[in-house]
A = this chain, B = another copy of it.
Amino acid sequence: MSDTAAPLTWQLIEDARARIAGRVRSTPVLTSATLDELSAARLYFKCEMFQKCGAFKARGAANAVFALSEDQARRGVATHSSGNHAAALARAARLRGIPAYIVMPDNTAQAKRDAVERYGGRVTYCEATLASREAAAAQLVAATGAAFIHPYDNLMVMAGQGTAAAEFLEEVPDLEVLICPVGGGGLLSGTAVAAHALKPGVQVFGAEPAGADDAARSLHSGQLQGAGHPRTIADGLRGALAPRTFSEIRRGVTDILTVPEAAIISGMRELWEVLKVVAEPSAAVPYAAVRAAPAQLRGRRVGVILSGGNLDLDRLPWAP
C-alpha cells in the first residue's frame, strides 16, 4: 500500500467510493450569479466544508482506515498532523473501532486538539518541528504496531480524496476545468486522476498561496522543490509535495496558479458574503485564483473544490 512506485489509478478511486459510501457525505454543489460575474466564468462550488469533520480529509482517512486488513487494523493507526487529517483519521478509526495515535506539535490550536479528542484520538504532543513530529510518530508506530497513515503520501489517502472530483463530475458533467488547492498534493492528485478518467479533455489546475508555492516551482522547473519557508494564512497548504504526488501532478495537471495573501483574504470574504459558506483560508485559494480571471479560465465552466471550513471565528483575517 505504501509502494511509492505504484501510480494512482481510477480503479483505486472507484474502490474508494464503494468503501467509504455511507461513511462520508456526498456534498452539495452551489452556484452564484454574482461570483460568476466577478470572475468572468461559470463557477460550480463543491462544498467540502459540509463534509464530515468539515473538510475533504474525511474521504482519504476513511478510505485508508477501511482498506486495512483485519490483521493490519487491529493495532490501530497513527499519523502526525496538526490539521484536518488528524481529526479525520481519529474519526475513521473510531468508526472502525480501532485506536488512532496522533502526534501533534505542542503549539497546536486548542480547537484542533479538541476535535481530535472528541473522536477519541490518543494525542502525543511533541516539539513543533517536522523532525520531532516524525521521530515521535516513528516511536509510536514501533511501540504500538499501528499502521502509519501519512496525510497525503499514501495511495489510499490519495484515492479517497479523488472521490470528491468523481462526485463533482457526475453531478455537473459539463465542467471544462477543475481547480482545487494544493498543499501536499493528495487532493490534487486524486482530482486529476478522477477527472481524466471520467472526462477526457477536462483540464485540472492546482491553486497555491504565492507564499507557499513549492508545487508551482516544482511543476515549472520539472524538479521536486522543498517547502522553503512558507508564509501564508492558508495553514492547510504549507506542506510540500511528496515524490508520489509530484509525479501524479506532472502527469495530470495543466498548471498551478499562485495567489497573493491579500487575494486569499478577499476571496475568502466573498465566499462568506456571497456564497454564504464558511470557507477556511486554504479553501479560498482556488476561488481567489479564478477570481483573478486568468485567460486560461475566462468564460469557461469551472468546478472549484472548496476544501474545508475549519477555522477560529475569533480570529478572522478581516477583523478590525
Contact = CB atoms under 8 A, between A and B. Distances in A.
Interface of A: 28, 30, 47, 49-50, 54, 269, 272-273, 275-278, 309, 313-314, 316, 318-320
A54 B273 CA distance: 9
B313 A320 contact: no
A43 to B, nearest CB: 14
A141 B276 CA distance: 34
A252 to B, nearest CB: 29
Given A49-B276, A54-B276, A269 B318 contact: no
A275 B25 CA distance: 13
A313 B318 contact: yes
Pairs A-B, 4 closest by C-beta atoms: A276-B309, A49-B276, A276-B278, A28-B28
Contacts of A277: 276-278
Contact of A278 (B47, B50, B272): B272
A320 B314 CA distance: 8
Given A50-B275, A276-B309, A277-B277, 9 more contacts: A50-B276, A54-B276, A269-B313, A273-B278, A273-B313, A277-B278, A278-B278, A313-B316, A314-B318
A112 B102 CA distance: 47
Contacts of A47: 276
A158 to B, nearest CB: 24
